[in-house]
Amino acid sequence: MEIQRTVTRKINPERRIILHQDNASSHTAPKTRQYLTEENVELLDHPPYRPDLRTNDFFTFPKIKNRLRGQRFQSLEEAVDAFKNAVLDLPANEWNKCFENWFERMHMCINLRREYFEKQYSHLKLPTWCRQWSLWDQEWNSIVFSDESRFYLGMHDGPARVRRRRGERRNPQFSVERHVHHTVGVMVWGAIAYGSRSPLIFIRGNMNAQRYIHEPHLLPYLDILADLTFQQDNARPHVARVTIDFFQHNDVTLLPWRPRSPDLSKIEHVWDMMGRRLLNLQRPPQTLEALREELVLAWNEIPQEDIDHLIRSMPRRVGECVAHQGASTHY
């Protein structure tokens, strides 16, 4: 209530006020509604459970948190003052973009019949995404597929599938012993395209947005492959605002990608090839340095024809996705 009084006192009383808020109990309480009515404040209805349509949730709070990240405050008052100053420092063009994005989200909500959309591109339901690209054929040759993967000493984080007859589940021939406790390993990043691949890059520590855009591997590789479109999944470092701004600033075109679609990502198969090669080594690597050497060999020795074949399979994969109404494909 005190917040509402502060807001309404500072606004011209003759100006029409339309307030947008969610349906929290404090916002919809009879006392709150009575006060807003007395102050001639109109309410804009908001559908329940829709943070994707709230400007504070998709713009203001993430923007301010990003600006204040890493700062430490000695008191609650100091933190509140820093928050206010950060809000006041946002330029007018940023607020204009916020409201433009808000209206775009409303249209997406209508087009998707009120379906919830998350992050930047996940508003694309999988069947819709597949239909959108179902007419592509040679166009897939101009897509750069990228991803990270983690490989451990003695194993990798990809699945291992086998064929067996009914009743052979307990047969040791179809079992692979793995360490169940934490095992040291390395994280790698790579990208593939038709007729090309990037160097295999080792990521030190955990991946975050700053490390992702500042690693000296991304732009040089994309500069070599001019006029190509870059694909990445919707991991947090990839869809962070600082990452999206980085791509826009460097004129990198992104392919909208639906979350939880590993069967459509070509590079997932490359990681699986590398993992199988490590598992089949007669002398598996015992140190991280040896693991890095084997990974570089595995990456470089994958025939480019196999990578090209994976990319040329995209029309079939997308067609199967459409036929299965977005369900998993046999890939």
DSSP string, 243-270: HHHHHHHTT--B----SS-GGG-HHHHH
pLDDT (0 to 100) of residue 94:
84
CATH class of 136-323: alpha beta
Query: Per DSSP, what are the bridge partners of residue 202?
Result: 188
Confidence of residue 90 (pLDDT cuts 50, 70, 90): confident
Could you list the beta-strand ranges (E) of 175-307.
185-193, 196-197, 201-203, 229-231
Q: Using pLDDT thresholds of 50, 70 and 90, give the confidence band for residue 136.
A: confident
Residue 187 contacts residue 202 (beta carbons within 8 Å): yes
CA 309, 310, 314, 316 dihedral sign is positive
Q: b or e along 47-85 (b: 16 or more beta carbons within 10 Å of the residue's beta carbon)?
A: eeeeebbbeeebbbeebbeebeeeeeeeeeeeeeeebee
Separation of alpha carbons 108 and 123, rounded Å: 8
**Helix 30-38 to helix 2-10 angle, to the nearest 10 degrees?**
10
Going from the C-alpha of 98 to that of each of 101, 102, 208, 299, the distances in angstroms are 5, 6, 24, 42
Q: What is the DSSP letter of 1?
A: -
Same fold, 2-111 and 136-323: yes
Secondary structure class of 23 (helix, strand, coil): coil
Q: pLDDT by residue (tens digit) across 150-162?
A: 998 865 555 556 6
Residue with tokens 């064929």: 163
pLDDT, mean of residues 280-295: 91
Enter the pTM of the model.
0.56
Residue 156 in contact with residue 113, Cβ under 8 Å?
no
The predicted pLDDT at position 10 comes to 46
- For residue 151, the model assigns a pLDDT of 92
Nearest to 200 by CA among 311, 313, 331, 291: 291
Distance CA 205, CA 203 (A): 6
* C-alpha of 263 from chain center: 16
Write out pLDDT tens, residues 192-247: 999 999 999 998 878 888 888 877 667 777 777 667 889 988 888 888 888 888 88
CATH class for the domain made up of 2-111: alpha beta
| Residue where the block lists tokens 């036929």 | 323
Domain ranges of the chain: 2-111, 136-323
14-28, 131-145, 284-298: segment of lowest average pLDDT: 14-28
Element (H, E) at 30: helix 30-38
Residues whose CB is less than 8 angstroms from the CB of residue 154 and which lie 6 or more positions away in sequence, other chains included: 178, 179, 183, 284
Residue 39 has pLDDT above 80, yes or no: yes
Quick one: average pLDDT of 184-194?
91
Tokens 């975050």: give the residue: 208
